[in-house]
Amino acid sequence: MNQFDKDDVLAQEALLAQTKPAVGRRDVLKSVVAGAALMAVGAPSVLAQGKTLRFLNAEPGRDSVRALRVAAAEYEKKFGVKVVIDTVPPDDAYNKIQSSIAAGTPYDVGTLAFAGHVLLLAQAGKLVPLTKLVQRHKWGPNVLFPIKDENYWYPYDYNFCWMYYRKDLYQQKGLKVPTTWDQMAENCKALTEGGKFGVGHPVGANAAAQWMSLGYMWADGVRLLDNNFKLIVDNAEMKPKVTRYLDFMKKMGPSMPSGMTQALFGTVLGQYSGGQIAHAPYAGRLIEVIEDKAPDLVAKTGFFMYPDSAGSGQAVNHGYDGWVVLNTPMRDESLKFMEWFVDNHYINFLHSAPLHMQPPRMDVYDDIRWRAHPLIEKHAELVDFMKSMLTRKDVAIRSIDTEGPGVDLRPGKMFETFAICDAIQNVLYKGMPPAEAVDIMAAKYRTVL
């Protein structure tokens, strides 16, 4: 008799079929047993046949989509489970997830960029906890947003916003990196001439303005909500600070190009990489862009955090992104996929925007696989600067949608009123006294609290 692999049940069956042409009851029973054995021992891919996971991605960059597709293809090859990647712009992700649930065809895994969305979906029973998976690592501050001691999302990046500046122009003008608002305004003024501008801060009623223009305010210790989610932006302590911030923005106004109410993230990138502005607020993506589009600027670019008014504090504006697993019939498979994905492809995914996707997992900073990326190696100074935001005690990490003592929908509602953007516009374009603009801002915030 031929020697078979003991697990090669199908081959044994084939040989039996050749040597015993007549099919008897015993043969049928053997086949059934063989089939059952095959199911039991053998192949997860056979077990999983026909299963499909739907993953809603909100990182539309080409490399990010590719990283996810490679992971999906590998997962399918390994486990026989198809992973379909749908990609939408970040702003559309939450509505798309809601629509998919309402339509009865929910995504199994989704990307979200606001903790309030996670809260809403978790409260509605649409998410499954990822606590065990999350607890396997040490995380940076202000990124997990637990809900009743459970973690419902797996963060994959911080989107902190800080300031970039032109080192060569600073040298030409004999300027120093600003540590106060006055110095910042003076530097911007000194660099505004001949169609070039000191800085580009978006001031429209949009997320770009709230991400790129408020850091100074956070550095000065402004808080919008107290520990009971009560609005305090216009109380005796905060109002003078916000007023001072609006005064500062007014001072910066002449150093900015026109059309900043229409400016979005890409506008500022274009202004800086095109040499139109000498300071630009952004995260690591700015370096990635100038490496690609304006390499001559790379060596001329420096960075610092948003200074405060007095030179004693600094801040970055907060941002974050993460994945959630939805409570679908595929939830167990989704959890299995997530576990496999974060073990095997998390770093590959971060590498799809190597400097922009700042890791929230502290172990990643010491992971030689992550550090091996050419841009991360080249910009080690920037990477150390980015990591320092997570470890230094004197750095304020703030944003409107993360105001208050914990995750809550109220700051998210405040974010979407864009009342602070209105206040900046009122001061810059209508000449309104800052104190009055603060009152209007506070009134608008109260309408949603």
Partner 1 sequence: MLSFRTNSDKFLLGAFIASVAITLLLILFPVVHAIQLSFYQSESFVSERTWIGAGNYLRVLQESGFWRAFGIGVTFSVLTIVLQVALGIGCALLLDQPFFGRPVIRGLAVLPYLLPTVVVAVAFQWLLDGSLGLFTIWAEELGLGRPAWFEDPVMAMVVVVIASVWTWTPFVTISFLAALQTIPKSLYEAARVDGAGSWNRFWHVTIPMLVPMLMVIVLLRSIWMFNKFDIIWLMTKGGPLSATEHLPVMAYRRAFMQYDVGGGAAVATLSFAVLSLLILVYFYFYPLDGKEGNK
Q: Is residue 276 within the footprint of partner 1 (CB under 8 A)? A: yes
Binding of partner 1 at residue 206 (CB under 8 A)? yes
Nearer to partner 1, 48 or 113 (CB): 113
Q: Tell which one of 34, 38, 294, 448 touches partner 1 (CB under 8 A).
A: 448
Q: Does the footprint of partner 1 cover residue 192 (CB under 8 A)?
A: no
User: Alpha helix (H) ranges present in 55-92?
Assistant: 62-79
Nearer to partner 1, 70 or 440 (CB): 440
CB-side neighbour CA atoms (13 Å) of 449: 22
Residues 6 or more apart whose CB falls under 8 angstroms from that of 242 comprise 217, 222, 233, 234, 423, 434, 438, 441
> Is residue 178 within the footprint of partner 1 (CB under 8 A)?
no
User: At residue 325, what is the residue type?
Assistant: V
By CB under 8 A, name the one of 10, 15, 65, 120 that touches partner 1. 120
204 binds partner 1 (CB under 8 A): yes
Q: Rounded to whole angstroms, how far apart are CA atoms 36 and 29?
A: 11
Quick check: 324 and 126 in contact, CB under 8 A? no
Q: How far is the CB of 249 from partner 1 (least distance, A)?
A: 14
Does residue 134 sit in helix, strand or coil? helix
The answer to whether residues 346 and 136 touch, using CB atoms and an 8 Å cutoff, is no
DSSP states of 196-228: BEEE----SSSHHHHHHS-HHHHHTT--SB-TT
Please report whether residue 49 would count as binding partner 1 according to CB under 8 A. no
- The reply on whether position 98 binds partner 1 by CB under 8 A is yes
Asked whether position 146 contacts partner 1 by CB under 8 A, the answer is: no
> Please, which residue, 72 or 263, has the CB nearer to partner 1?
263
Per CB under 8 A, the list member of 99, 171, 227, 235 interacting with partner 1 is: 99
C-beta of 119 vs 143, nearer to partner 1 = 119
* Residue count, binding to partner 1 (CB under 8 A): 35
Q: x-or-dash pattern for partner 1, window 391-430, by CB under 8 A?
A: ------------------x--xx--xx----x--xx-xxx
Q: Give 309 or 334: the residue with its C-beta nearer to partner 1.
A: 334
Q: Which residue carries 């202004």 as its tokens? A: 271
By CB under 8 A, residue 262 contacts partner 1: yes
Quick check: 123 binds partner 1 (CB under 8 A)?
Answer: yes
- Contact between 105 and partner 1 by CB under 8 A: the answer reads no
Interaction between residue 447 and partner 1 (CB under 8 A): yes
Give least dist CB 297 to partner 1, A.
Answer: 18
Strands (E) across 262-362 are located at: 277-282, 301-304, 306-307, 314-317, 320-326
Write out the E strands in 373-433: 395-398
3-state secondary structure of 89: coil
Distance (Å, whole) CA 209 – CA 212:
5
Nearer to partner 1 (CB atom), residue 221 or residue 257: 257
143 contacts: CB under 8 Å, gap ≥ 6 = 155, 158, 320, 322, 360
Nearer to partner 1, 360 or 411 (CB): 411
Residues 53 and 60: their CA atoms lie apart, in Å, by: 19
Q: How far is the CB of 423 from partner 1 (least distance, A)?
A: 10
Backbone phi and psi for residue 116, each to the nearest 5 degrees, phi listed first: -60, -35
Task: For residue 349, give the H/E element and its range.
Answer: helix 346-350
Taking alpha carbons only, the member of 15, 38, 39 closest to residue 27 is 15
Q: Distance of CA 311 to CAs 185, 189, 316, 393, Å?
A: 13, 19, 15, 15
Tell me how far, at minimum, the Cβ of 410 lies from partner 1, in Å: 9
Interhelix angle 419-429/238-252, nearest 10 degrees: 50
Closer of 235 and 262 to partner 1 (Cβ) = 262
259 binds partner 1 (CB under 8 A): yes
Closest contact distance (angstroms) between CB of 121 and partner 1 is 7
CB of 209 to partner 1, least distance (A): 10
CB of residue 95 to partner 1, shortest distance in Å: 6
Q: Compose the 125-144 pattern: x for residues touching partner 1 by CB under 8 A, - for all others.
A: -x------------------
213 binds partner 1 (CB under 8 A): no
Q: How many CA atoms lie less than 13 Å away from 277 in the CB half-sphere?
A: 26
95 binds partner 1 (CB under 8 A): yes
Residues binding partner 1 (CB under 8 A): 95, 98-99, 101-102, 116, 120-121, 123-124, 126, 204-206, 257-262, 271, 276, 409, 412-413, 416-417, 422, 425-426, 428-430, 447-448
